[in-house]
């Protein structure tokens, strides 16, 4: 038995068998020369690999019902066309004959030649095709090399996923039914993968440095997401102890008093709005049943990860419309694409070899430089707006010019809808995320063109304190109680309130029960968090008076460092 300590990022206990997930998406490509006589053999291998794949796709098409799966069928049919594409076949044949190289290297190089040509074209549709081409080449390589790729989406037994790092796009496809816990070497409490683990209710311990090297597939693990511990191959006594603890915590969760139907109101009657953060629309029903009063943040980029492409306008329109209808007129805040940084959609970021992705081409910067992709999303939101109560939110705004540019594209999208006689609501609130310190510092300018602010504390902490939110070595510095963070929050709230506009918070701080009285005292109007936390935050709001919280906030703002504030929060009144 061995015990590893890491960062507790998602509560709960998980016991099960480890599955090491260290595969790279692309298999290693063998490269060697072949003789002229071997070319025909290589060509036959190509034909039989494509035949095997197209047969599998046809089978999947047969199993995909015509109704309700239009988008899925469309993708499968498009894949079929690609594997049977005459030009692609001809280019592979020519490549084999002229270069006398093995098939695997020719397949990959031919696909990358197409990718290069597509990358040079400005249209969003071509950009989306890049992923399809690379995906096709990857499938062919897997087939040729007899590699069975492991997908976290298609697990068929319960496991504990162990990885050096997990991308948000990999985490989002995991199901709680099969993934009993997550263990990673990288990550911190505010990394996107941690956020997803919490939203999915999967216990997780991150920041184990080199933990994955000490765990083998098949090892029995206990993952203690409350205390940040991982036990490898526990002895019988420890195993029995934890199994008992799991039973007890399940029973407690069941008994937890539901505050549904009660408002999030302080003892002296100040009312707050509690919303949910969603990565996929499927979580909405559960959130509403737990008392969410709306969606404070819909991370729209996650829908793009699933297919590694920009969804077309129609399918985005459908997704947003369905979510708005299901929310039954409660507000739904759709954040426009927040891709880049650690949320890479490979097809869109080909050849983007940035030194500092988190300071680079991400989020609103990406959208502003890809107007076609941006406007597809804006038109889809506008058209869906007639089905409910939507709010549009722009991420990572760093100054007024960026906001004005984004609003300019929104006006263009409106004009395009109007030209096509597509109706949209005339009263959509448009707000921004305050998640770069510069936005907080020029909040008085930004608020004049925003209907609301929503503070994204995950990035605000990252950029204010200079701490990469995914880096376990410096995660101890990502302190939400740092006075600099509190001052920026206060400045943002006060500025918006002077203009009579509301301020929400959708970063992880909003769901941190320890911080709730402080945020109440700072004057926040709306809290947005994962569904499981809503009742806990509500309970705490109901325990205090607004006056008490204001006093606490005043004291906290006078503290010299994060530790002093943390100590103050131990005894808030």
Strand, coil or helix: what is 330?
Answer: coil
Which residue do the tokens 């995660």 mark? 475
Which residue do the tokens 């025909």 mark? 40
Determine, following the binding rule CB under 6 A, whether residue 338 of this chain makes contact with ligand PEP. yes
Q: What tokens appear for 62 in the block?
A: 């047969």
Q: What is the DSSP track for 384-414?
A: HGGGSEEEEEE-S--SHHHHHHHHHHHHHHH
Among 458, 492, 530, 535, binds ligand PEP (CB under 6 A): 458
- Which of 143/459 has CB closer to ligand PEP? 459
Binding string, 292-331, against ligand PEP, x = CB under 6 A? -----x-x--------------------------------
Q: Which stretch binds ligand PEP (CB under 6 A): 48-56, 62-70, 174-182, 450-458?
A: 450-458
- Which of 169/458 has CB closer to ligand PEP? 458
Q: Is 497 exposed, middle or buried (0-12, 13-18, 19+ CB in 10 A)?
A: middle
Among 165, 185, 342, 459, binds Mg ion (CB under 5 A): 459
C-alpha distance from residue 386 to each of 21, 174, 288 (Å): 43, 33, 21
**Which residue, among 46, 123, 28, 36, has the nearest Cα to 85 in the 3D structure?**
46
The active-site residue out of 192, 387, 417, 482 is 192
Partner touching 185 among Mg ion, ligand PEP, none, CB below 5 to 8 Å by kind: none
C-alpha distance from residue 206 to each of 213, 458, 478, 502, 507 (Å): 14, 16, 15, 35, 19
Q: Which stretch binds Mg ion (CB under 5 A): 68-76, 326-334, 435-443, 494-502?
A: 435-443
- Which of 299/482 has CB closer to ligand PEP? 299
Let me know if 506 is a catalytic residue: yes
Determine, following the binding rule CB under 5 A, whether residue 456 of this chain makes contact with Mg ion. yes
Partner touching 506 among ligand PEP, Mg ion, none, CB below 5 to 8 Å by kind: ligand PEP
- Report how far residue 123's alpha carbon sits from residue 228's, in angstroms, rounded to the nearest whole number: 46
- Which of 53/197 has CB closer to ligand PEP? 197
CA atoms within 13 A on the CB side of 260: 11
CA-CA-CA-CA torsion sign (318, 319, 325, 329):
negative
Determine, following the binding rule CB under 6 A, whether residue 507 of this chain makes contact with ligand PEP. yes
The active-site residue out of 189, 387, 417, 506 is 506
- Report how far residue 33's alpha carbon sits from residue 31's, in angstroms, rounded to the nearest whole number: 7
Q: What tokens appear for 340 in the block?
A: 């880049």
Among 91, 275, 457, 475, binds ligand PEP (CB under 6 A): 457
Determine, following the binding rule CB under 6 A, whether residue 165 of this chain makes contact with ligand PEP. no
Provide, rounded to whole angstroms, the least separation between the CB of residue 319 and ligand PEP. 18
Spatial contact of 347 and 301, defined as CB atoms under 8 Å apart = no
Q: Which stretch binds Mg ion (CB under 5 A): 204-212, 345-353, 382-390, 433-441?
A: 433-441
Determine, following the binding rule CB under 6 A, whether residue 10 of this chain makes contact with ligand PEP. no
Let me know if 192 is a catalytic residue: yes
Among 459, 468, 526, 548, binds ligand PEP (CB under 6 A): 459
Among 143, 165, 307, 435, binds ligand PEP (CB under 6 A): 435
Q: What is the DSSP track for 531-542?
A: GGGHHHHHHHHH
Residues that bind Mg ion (CB under 5 A): 435, 456, 459
What residues act catalytically?
192, 506
* Residues engaged in binding ligand PEP (CB under 6 A): 195, 297, 299, 338, 435, 456-459, 506-507
């Amino acid at each position: 038995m061995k015990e590893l300590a890491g960062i507790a990022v998602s509560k709960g206990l998980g016991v099960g068998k480890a599955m090491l997930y260290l595969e790279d998406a692309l298999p290693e490509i063998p490269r060697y020369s072949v003789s002229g006589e071997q070319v025909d053999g290589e060509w036959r291998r190509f034909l039989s690999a494509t035949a095997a794949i197209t047969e599998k796709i046809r089978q999947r098409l047969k199993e995909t019902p015509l109704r309700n799966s239009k988008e899925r069928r469309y993708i499968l049919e498009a894949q079929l066309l690609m594997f049977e594409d005459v030009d692609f076949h001809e280019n592979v044949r020519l490549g084999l004959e002229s270069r006398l190289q093995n098939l695997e290297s020719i397949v990959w190089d031919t696909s990358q030649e197409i990718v290069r040509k597509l990358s040079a074209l400005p249209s969003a549709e071509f950009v989306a095709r890049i992923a399809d081409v690379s995906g096709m080449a990857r499938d062919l390589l897997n087939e040729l090399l007899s590699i069975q790729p492991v997908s976290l989406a298609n697990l068929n037994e319960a496991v504990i996923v162990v990885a050096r790092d997990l991308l948000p796009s990999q985490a989002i496809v995991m199901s709680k039914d099969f993934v009993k816990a997550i263990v990673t070497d990288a990550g911190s409490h505010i990394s996107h993968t941690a956020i997803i683990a919490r939203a999915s209710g999967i216990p997780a311990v991150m920041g184990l440095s080199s933990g994955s090297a000490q765990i083998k597939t098949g090892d029995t693990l206990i993952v203690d997401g409350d205390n940040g511990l991982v036990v490898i191959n526990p002895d019988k006594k420890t195993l029995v102890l934890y199994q008992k603890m799991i039973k007890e915590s399940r029973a407690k969760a069941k008994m937890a008093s539901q505050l549904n139907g009660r408002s999030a109101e302080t003892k002296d009657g100040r009312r707050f709005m509690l919303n949910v953060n969603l990565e996929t629309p499927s979580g909405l029903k559960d959130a509403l049943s737990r008392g969410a009063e709306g969606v404070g943040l819909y991370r729209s980029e996650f829908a793009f990860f699933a297919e590694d492409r920009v969804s077309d306008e129609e399918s985005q329109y459908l997704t947003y419309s369905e979510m708005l209808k299901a929310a039954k007129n409660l507000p739904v805040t759709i954040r426009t694409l927040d891709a880049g940084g650690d949320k890479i959609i490979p097809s869109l970021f080909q050849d983007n070899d940035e030194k500092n992705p988190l300071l680079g081409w991400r989020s609103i910067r990406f959208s502003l430089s890809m107007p076609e992709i941006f406007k597809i999303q804006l038109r889809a939101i506008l058209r869906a707006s007639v089905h409910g109560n939507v709010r549009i939110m722009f991420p990572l705004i760093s100054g007024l010019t960026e906001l004005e540019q984004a609003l300019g594209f929104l006006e263009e999208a409106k004009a395009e809808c109007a030209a096509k006689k597509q109706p949209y609501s005339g009263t959509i609130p448009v707000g921004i995320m305050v998640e770069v310190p510069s936005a907080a510092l020029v909040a008085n300018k930004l608020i004049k063109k925003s209907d609301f602010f929503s503070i994204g504390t995950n990035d605000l902490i990252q950029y204010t304190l200079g701490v990469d939110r995914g880096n376990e070595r410096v995660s101890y510095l990502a302190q939400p109680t740092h006075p600099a963070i509190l001052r920026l929050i206060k400045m943002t709230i006060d500025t918006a309130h002077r203009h009579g506009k509301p301020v929400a918070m959708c970063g992880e701080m909003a769901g941190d029960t320890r911080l709730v009285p402080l945020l109440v005292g700072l004057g926040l109007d709306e809290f947005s968090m994962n569904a499981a936390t809503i009742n806990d935050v509500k309970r705490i709001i109901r325990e205090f008076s607004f006056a008490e919280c204001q006093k606490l906030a005043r004291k906290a703002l006078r503290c010299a460092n994060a530790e002093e504030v943390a100590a103050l929060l131990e005894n808030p009144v």
